[in-house]
Structure 1
Amino acid sequence: MATGEGGLRERKKRETRFALSQAAIRLTLERGWENVSVEDIAAAANVSERTFRNYFTGKAEAIVASHVERGRRTAEALRERPAGEPLWDALVNALVAQFEPPRPQASDTPPPGYAAALQKLLAEPAVQYEVFRAHATAQDELTAAVAERTGTDPADLYPQTVAAVVSAGLGTALSRWARNPTGSLGALLREVFDGIRAGLPDPR
């Protein structure tokens, strides 16, 4: 019973973190970095400023928390993939599931000015620092999941290398999409990883 309650509490904490992160992203893209306060973010997520401070040290950490959560979910999804599925198929399917909605909707199309606002937000030094930290956290989570799936140790070179390659591929796709956020991010991720799995042959 206690374990179940602990799991429920942890899930609710993650949901609150994600809601705060989504509110922070939405508000800063709409109003600009300088025009959004911690109080604004907390109000948008229907929590107190004190609750926000329980989860994050500031706006930048809140904004990047969505990426941290997606990294955690990717590792969890990899663990849930069929045991007989080839590793890279399982990795790509687990990753794409975090970015590709089951049913595309009209609301998924970014509004005018979204790309410029996103580029400006990602150029903030505080956000860049948190993105660096988030990549490291996500890579550690994935390393552990790859090690479990392959029967290796997280300290071994193989799972660390696989996780690093996934992180680089994801970062490339996200950077490309951020410059022109139209079309399917899932399709772009699959294109990137198709090239990686093929050994990145000479395009000529």
Structure 2
Amino acid sequence: MTVDNDLGEAGRTGLRARKKLATREALSRAALRLALERGLENVRVDEIAAAAGVSPRTFNNYFSSREEAICFLGVQRAQRIGRALRARPADEPLDEAIGNAMAQEYAGHAEPDKVAMRMLVSEPGLRGEFLKGIVSLEEPLAEAIAARTGTDAERDLFPRVLAAAVSSAARTATGHYLRTDTTAPFATVVREAISVIAPAARAYGGGRE
């Protein structure tokens, strides 16, 4: 499966890539909806494919399991956050840019559904894929951080360590959001979690020199 390549190609406006990404999204949404309605153990691949209007063979061309399909939107979100960070103003302090890029992804109509999130973190068959989705945030973030700070994501420690800290903050924010009785939007909880690691980003510097 070539999820990352498809996401990258779609960002470059290729028609074929956009169609492939649209199919992935349709399958992922169908899988999530059916799992919420019936319970994960009661959902079959052929039912997901039918709900998305494709064949089971097409499903297998895109995903290796129903769990992977359900969690795909999280991988897609990680790619968008990386692009959002790259698009932040160059003179914006790094910690603020990261917080704004993260919050932007979850604001307004993008507010996560608590029932769906709770299923993702509590269902044994989904938890591993869900955590992989959060970890997948690290690569695009590290590259975006490196681009903003003039470092190299392959050679330098800073962009990858900070990206890993952001990924951990996102995971912790998810647990807090589900575990407590907070009424704050998830975007606010994520921004607060990012603020905890802000000193590390601030110590390195703000935007590009």
Work out whether the TM-score is over 0.5. Answer: yes
Whole-angstrom CA distance in 2 between matches of 1:136 and 1:195: 19
Residue 24 in structure 1 maps to residue 25 in structure 2:
no
- In 2: Cα distance, 1:12 partner to 1:50 partner: 17
1:131 correspondence with 2:100 = no
Structure 2 CA distance for partners of 1:18 and 1:159, relative to 1, 3 Å: same
Name the CA distance, whole Å, in 1 between partners of 2:183 and 2:37.
18
Query: Is the counterpart of residue 149 in structure 1 residue 148 in structure 2?
Result: yes
> How far does the alpha carbon of each residue in 1:79-135 deviate from its partner, in whole angstroms, 9 at most, with x for none?
11111111111111111121112x68xxx795xxx64x7535433333222233323
How far apart, in 1, do the equivalents of 2:55 and 2:182 lie? 32
Cα distance between partner residues in 2 of 1:120 and 1:91 = 27
Match of 2:42 among 35, 42, 51: 35
* Identity across matched positions, percent: 43
User: What are the within-5 Å matches in structure 2 for residues 52-201 of structure 1?
Assistant: 52-101=59-108, 115=115, 118-155=117-154, 156-179=156-179, 183-197=184-198
Return the offset for 1:58: 0.7
Structure 2: distance between partners of 1:7 and 1:178:
38
- Structure 1 residue 64, shift from structure 2 partner: 1.2
Q: Which runs of 5+ in 2 are unaligned?
A: 1-8, 201-209
Deviation at 1:8, TM superposition (A): 2.6
C-alpha offsets along residues 159-200 of structure 1, whole Å, 9 cap, x if unaligned?
A: 01110111011111122223469541111112222233257x
For 2:98 and 2:145, the matched residues in 1 are separated by 9
The number of residues matched between the two structures is 189
What residue identity is the alignment partner of 1:161? V
Relative distance call for 1:132 and 1:120 in structure 2 (3 A) is closer
Question: TM-score, length-normalised on structure 2?
Answer: 0.78
Instruction: Give the letter for the 1:141 counterpart.
Output: P
Match of 1:11 in 2: 18
RMSD over aligned CA atoms reads 2.7
Report the CA distance shift for 1:177/1:16 in structure 2 as closer, same or farther (over 3 A). Answer: farther
Which residue number corresponds to residue 202 of structure 1? none
Q: Return the alpha-carbon distance in structure 2 between the equivalents of residues 6 and 184 of structure 1.
A: 32
**Residues 90 and 120 of structure 1, relative CA distance in 2, 3 Å threshold:** closer
Task: Give the distance between the partners of 1:182 and 1:6, measured in 2 at CA.
Answer: 38
Note the residue ranges of structure 1 that are not aligned, 5 or more in a row.
200-204
Q: Quick one: distance in 2 between partners of 1:120 and 1:44? A: 20
The answer to whether the 8 Å contact 1:29/1:121 transfers is no
Contact 2:118 2:178 survives alignment (8 Å)? yes
